């Protein structure tokens, strides 16, 4: 089977690789680049654990070919913080206790980044609707909802 | 993680190259939201995928001869935000509720129709709007009404050497449309799209309840008969309900959707 060349920016760094057509973006990020913050769970685009941004749009890395990331910008949860300083979305998740086991958290954080880029001041209903495709089995969704609304406020404050 | 089976990826330079790859047995590929899942589950094992996403001939939403034309690689997200889509009542509403934001960002409307999921909201709405699909192959092209294209669950009239180039939705002034559904799980139990044209013709598409969206047409002046629809509609009993239950829900949703026609467009 053939390979495909991809030339991409991952969290701001240029990455060029030969990949097999069947390699998913999740496999590329986790296995090739060691970016294991992106989690894989349902593998059906239902749970949202593997959410990353492609050119600022949220996608499920489990069902997205690495080949399709060619010429695109990929942002993973590792790309949010500045050194040891958490991104405001990450800080809001921590301070609102929106994390228990943490497995779903990178996906929720990346969905929050996507939502707030499109809609900096969402209502609680808009947050719930946008996050409908992300599953958490620990916290209940209320702390997550609070964290997203808090993150929105923090980000508006920094502008 | 379960891996995808191996395949070759063909990246055509133009539509002619894409069509000859399809004629040689490659499977058309755009968003992959259904195709890659079917491959991972072992239901499909194509030797090659032909990536349509870089072809300008297959991209974009446009207004052509009183139709909104949606190219093969247009995602649900793109169609929803395209200004041309505003000519089609209920389109933005239905597209905004497909899957989740990740599915909408990569999944295409043409792929949605080609997968022929019986519970597709998009297929139900487009059937009521009397949409057509444009097919192309190395030997030419043809256009089918959506109800001729959708043959059964996961089955369409597309032959192996064809790809769907675009969807055509007629633009008509004075048209009213409403959409309603009953849903307790990931996909609806019953969905109903009702369209009333300016001349009084009413089309009601009943989706999710049977093998394909079923269209009932009533001429101007004839009052749509929801009891008749519930009686005649073909029902597939499944985990969302049995025959009698689904007919009952169909009657109710058809009736409430029809009464929404006058109040919303």
| Three-state SS sequence of chain A | CCCEEEEEEECCEEEEEEECCCCEHHHHHHHHCCCCCCCCCCCCCCCCCCEEEECCEEEEHHHCEHHHHCCCEEECHHHCCECCECCHHHHHHHHCCCCCCCCCHHHHHHHHHHHHHHCCCCCHHHHHHHHHHCCCCCCCCHHHHHHHHHHHHHHHHHC
CB contact under 8 A, A46 and B186: yes
In this structure, the answer to whether residues A108 and A55 fall within a common structural domain is no
CB contact under 8 A, A111 and B101: yes
Domain boundaries, chain B: 8-51, 58-170, 176-260
Of B7, B8, B36, the CB nearest to A63: B36
Contacts of A119-123 with C-beta under 8 Å, sequence gap 24+, read: A120/A152, A120/A155, A120/A156, A121/A152, A121/A156, A122/A148, A122/A149, A122/A152
Which residues in chain B (106-135) have CB-CB distances under 8 A to chain A? 106
User: May I ask the CATH class of domain B8-51?
Assistant: alpha beta
CB of A60 less than 8 A from some CB of B: yes
d(CA B104, CA A40): 20
Rg of chain A over Cα atoms, rounded to whole angstroms, equals 16
pLDDT of residue B265: 42
Q: What's the first-to-final CA gap in chain B, in angstroms?
A: 45
Of B6, B53, B106, the CB nearest to A22: B6
Instruction: Quote the domain boundaries for residue A122.
Output: 88-158
Pick out chain B residues at pLDDT < 70: 1, 263-265
CB of B41 less than 8 A from some CB of A: no
Nearest chain A residue (CA) to B99: A133
A7 Cβ contact list (under 8 Å, min separation 6): A14, A15, A16, A70, A71
The domain total for chain A is 2
CATH number at residue A154: 1.10.150.120
Residue with tokens 């499909």: B44
Chain A: nearest CA to B102, how far in angstroms? Answer: 4
Of the candidates A79, A105, A128, which is a domain's last residue? A79
- Name beta bridge partners: B164: B135
What is the pTM (predicted TM-score) of this model? 0.95
Chain B: nearest CA to A13, how far in angstroms? Answer: 24
Closest C-alpha to B125, from B92, B84, B152, B154: B92
pLDDT of residue A1: 63
User: May I ask the CATH class of domain B176-260?
Assistant: alpha beta
Q: Which residues of B fall within a CB distance of 8 Å from A134?
A: 100
Q: Write phi, then psi, for A74 (nearest 5 degrees).
A: -110, 130
Of the candidates A14, A46, A79, which is a domain's last residue? A79
In this structure, the answer to whether residues A151 and A107 fall within a common structural domain is yes
Tell me the pLDDT band of A139, cut-offs 50, 70 and 90: confident
pLDDT of residue A131: 96
CB contact under 8 A, B4 and A22: yes
Q: Which residues of B fall within a CB distance of 8 Å from A114?
A: 101
CB of A59 less than 8 A from some CB of B: yes
> What tokens were used for B45?
């094992």
CB contact under 8 A, B106 and A64: yes
| CATH (residue range B58-170) | 3.30.465.10
Each residue's pLDDT tens digit, B67-118: 999 999 999 999 999 999 999 999 999 999 999 999 999 999 999 999 999 9
Q: Which residues of A fall within a CB distance of 8 Å from B53?
A: 68
CB contact under 8 A, A133 and B103: yes
Of A2, A24, A45, the CB nearest to B102: A45
pLDDT at A76 over 60: yes
CB contact under 8 A, B5 and A44: no
Residue with tokens 């330079």: B13
pLDDT of residue B264: 45
In this structure, the answer to whether residues A53 and A99 fall within a common structural domain is no
Q: Is residue B134 a contact partner of residue B65, using CB atoms and an 8 Å limit?
A: no
CB of B75 less than 8 A from some CB of A: no
Of the candidates A59, A79, A99, which is a domain's last residue? A79
Q: Is residue B184 a contact partner of residue B159, using CB atoms and an 8 Å limit?
A: no
d(CA B205, CA B213): 6
Among left, alpha and beta (phi > 0; psi -120 to 50; other), residue A156 is: alpha
Tell me the pLDDT band of A157, cut-offs 50, 70 and 90: confident
pLDDT at A86 over 80: yes
In this structure, the answer to whether residues A65 and A106 fall within a common structural domain is no
CB of B86 less than 8 A from some CB of A: no
Rg of chain B over Cα atoms, rounded to whole angstroms, equals 18
pLDDT of residue A159: 59
A·B CB contacts under 8 A: 75
Q: Which residues of B fall within a CB distance of 8 Å from A1?
A: 6-8
Q: Is residue B218 a contact partner of residue B201, using CB atoms and an 8 Å limit?
A: yes
Cβ neighbours, 10 Å, residue A73:
15
CATH number at residue A22: 3.10.20.30
């Amino acid at each position: 089977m053939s390979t495909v060349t991809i030339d991409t920016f991952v969290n701001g760094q240029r990455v060029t690789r030969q990949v097999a057509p069947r390699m998913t973006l999740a496999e590329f990020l986790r296995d090739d680049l060691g970016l294991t913050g992106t989690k894989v769970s349902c593998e059906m685009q239902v749970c949202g654990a593997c959410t990353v941004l492609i050119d600022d749009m949220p996608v499920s890395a489990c069902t997205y070919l690495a080949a399709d990331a060619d010429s695109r910008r990929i942002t993973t949860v590792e790309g949010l913080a500045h050194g040891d300083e958490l991104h405001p979305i990450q800080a809001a998740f921590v301070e609102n206790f929106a994390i228990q086991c943490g497995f779903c958290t990178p996906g929720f954080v990346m969905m929050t980044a996507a939502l707030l880029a499109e809609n900096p001041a969402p209502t609680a209903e808009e947050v719930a609707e946008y996050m409908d495709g992300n599953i958490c089995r620990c916290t209940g969704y209320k702390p997550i909802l609070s964290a997203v609304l808090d993150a929105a406020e923090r980000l508006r404050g920094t502008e | 993680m379960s891996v995808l089976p191996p395949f070759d990826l063909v990246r055509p330079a133009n539509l002619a190259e894409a069509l000859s790859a399809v004629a040689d047995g490659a499977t058309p590929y755009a968003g992959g939201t259904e195709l890659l899942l079917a491959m991972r589950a072992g239901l499909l094992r194509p030797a090659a995928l032909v990536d349509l996403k870089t072809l300008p001939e297959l991209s974009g939403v446009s207004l052509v001869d009183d139709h909104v034309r949606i190219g093969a690689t247009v995602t649900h997200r793109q169609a929803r935000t395209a200004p041309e889509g505003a000519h089609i009542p209920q389109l933005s509403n239905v597209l905004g509720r497909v899957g989740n934001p990740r599915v909408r960002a990569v999944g295409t409307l043409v792929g949605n129709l080609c997968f022929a999921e019986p519970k597709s909201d998009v297929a139900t709405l487009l059937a009521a709007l009397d949409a057509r699909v444009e097919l192309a192959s190395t030997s030419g092209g043809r256009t089918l009404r959506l109800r001729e294209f959708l043959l059964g669950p996961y089955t369409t009239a597309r032959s192996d050497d064809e790809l769907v180039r675009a969807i055509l939705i007629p633009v008509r002034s004075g048209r009213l449309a409403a959409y309603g559904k009953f849903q307790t799980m990931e996909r609806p139990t019953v969905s109903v799209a009702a369209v009333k044209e300016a001349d009084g013709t009413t089309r009601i598409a009943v989706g999710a309840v049977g093998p394909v969206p079923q269209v009932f047409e009533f001429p101007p002046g004839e009052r749509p008969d929801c009891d008749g629809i519930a009686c005649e509609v073909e029902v597939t009993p499944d985990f969302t309900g049995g025959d009698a239950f689904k007919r009952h829900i169909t009657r109710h949703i058809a009736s409430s959707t029809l009464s929404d026609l006058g109040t919303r467009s």
